[in-house]
Amino acid sequence: MGFDVKLQEYVFADDVPFESCHASTLVVLPNGHVIAAWFGGTREGADDVAIWLSRRGEESWTAPVKIADEESEPHWNPVLFRDGGGKIWLFYKVGKKIRSWRTMYIVSEDDGLTWSDPLILVEGDSGGRGPVKNKPIVLEDGTWVAPASIELDTWDAFADLSYDNGKTWTASGLVPLQHSGEIAPGGQVPPVPEASLQGKGVIQPTLWESEPGKVHMLLRSTSGSIYRSDSEDGGKTWSAAYATELPNNNSGIDLARLDNGVLALVYNPVGENWGKRTPIVISISRDNGSTWGETLVLEDAPGEYSYPAIVSVGEDVYVTYTWLRKRIKYWKLSVTG
């Protein structure tokens, strides 16, 4: 039981036209090829930061190419998503300040070889609609659910819902937060006493559907633990966020649900707000996230190994993450047992 490692490698080496890279995303094509994207430039938040992409065929990765670059504005947090019709969407944030991000998107109809002109996802957006870091999921009834959040005076998560294959989007209510000494809206009582949040809140959800209409999210938090919220109505409303047993360093996480219901989560198991970003591990749950068992360490050296992305095809999982802000690391594994 556990993992069978099939491949681990870097997406690119040192000879690239950017000094720093971060926040990777990936999608697997029907032919088994993989597309990865990330933001790269002088440093995070610099005006020259753009969105870059590479693809892996049978043997190796192509050289990175720039696919989104609006002049004099930093780009952030690309998210790749392949819809049921075969189109590949790339969502990304643009803006000098996180609190005033706007979400842009481009679409490819030829497996990422060419891309449309950029469009804004939601007119009038300020703060970031649609997926903030992790991939949308498609529910049993066809609804697209994008994991979203905003970073203002407090950090809040929500879901962005599309009932027409990405043409329009409707934001859910915010995930209720119960800070220390507060009662969550509606008097909702979190199921564990550790639910009271410290710090600003929760952001950057990762989603899965366990049964038709039952949707769940795990969340990055400022409270030393990964938090969770659950929805019984397809993501329209959410329970009060509550702490899980999983530590969190206030850095990004991501999760994939395999066809057999197993959950695979990639994260830094460090229970300290703004804690170190090493090690990075992948853990699995066989009971819908109630408990987490088998764990594989992907990196444990000093440095930063962070902001993972994970997708699954059958029993295989595909992972990318930031490697020292200099490269993107890629793994292909199968979940055994």
Q: pLDDT band at residue 71, thresholds of 50, 70 and 90? A: confident
The token pair at 152 is 């203002």
Alpha carbons 313 and 209: distance in angstroms, whole number? 16
Q: pLDDT band at residue 186, thresholds of 50, 70 and 90? A: very low
C-alpha angle 23/162/50, rounded to 5°? Answer: 25
Look over the chain and give the mean of its residue pLDDT values, rounded to a whole number.
94
Instruction: Answer whether 242's CB lies under 8 Å from 190's CB.
Output: yes
Q: Report the pLDDT value the prediction gives residue 184, as an integer from 0 to 100.
A: 43
190 pLDDT above the threshold of 90:
no
> Tell me: the pLDDT tens digits for 113-124?
999 999 999 999
In this prediction, residues 67-71 reach a mean pLDDT of 93
Q: Report the pLDDT value the prediction gives residue 303, as an integer from 0 to 100.
A: 98
Alpha carbons 232 and 214: distance in angstroms, whole number? 5
Domain range annotation of the chain: 2-336
Q: Report the pLDDT value the prediction gives residue 185, as an integer from 0 to 100.
A: 43
Alpha carbons 282 and 128: distance in angstroms, whole number? 28
266 pLDDT above the threshold of 70:
yes
Burial of residue 282 (number of CB atoms within 10 Å: 0-12, 13-18, 19+): buried
Q: Report the pLDDT value the prediction gives residue 193, as an integer from 0 to 100.
A: 39
* φ, ψ at 31 (rounded to 5°): -85, 5
Q: Report the pLDDT value the prediction gives residue 196, as an integer from 0 to 100.
A: 66
In this prediction, residues 284-309 reach a mean pLDDT of 97
> Tell me: the pLDDT tens digits for 41-60?
999 999 999 999 999 999 99
In this prediction, residues 138-159 reach a mean pLDDT of 97
Q: pLDDT band at residue 197, thresholds of 50, 70 and 90? A: confident
Percent of the chain predicted with pLDDT > 90: 92
β-sheet bridge partners, residue 25: 37
Tell the residue number behind the tokens 């879901």, with chain if given: 159
187 pLDDT above the threshold of 50:
no
In this prediction, residues 209-234 reach a mean pLDDT of 98
Query: Residue 268 is which amino acid?
Result: N
191 pLDDT above the threshold of 90:
no
Instruction: Please confirm whether the linkage preceding 279 is cis (ω < 30° from 0).
Output: yes
In this prediction, residues 257-284 reach a mean pLDDT of 98
Q: pLDDT band at residue 262, thresholds of 50, 70 and 90? A: very high
Q: What sign does the dihedral 227-134-268-290 (CA atoms) show?
A: positive
129 pLDDT above the threshold of 60:
yes
Q: Report the pLDDT value the prediction gives residue 1, as an integer from 0 to 100.
A: 67
What's the distance, Cα to Cα, between the start and end of the chain in Å?
4
Would you identify the CATH topology of the domain 2-336?
Neuraminidase (2.120.10)
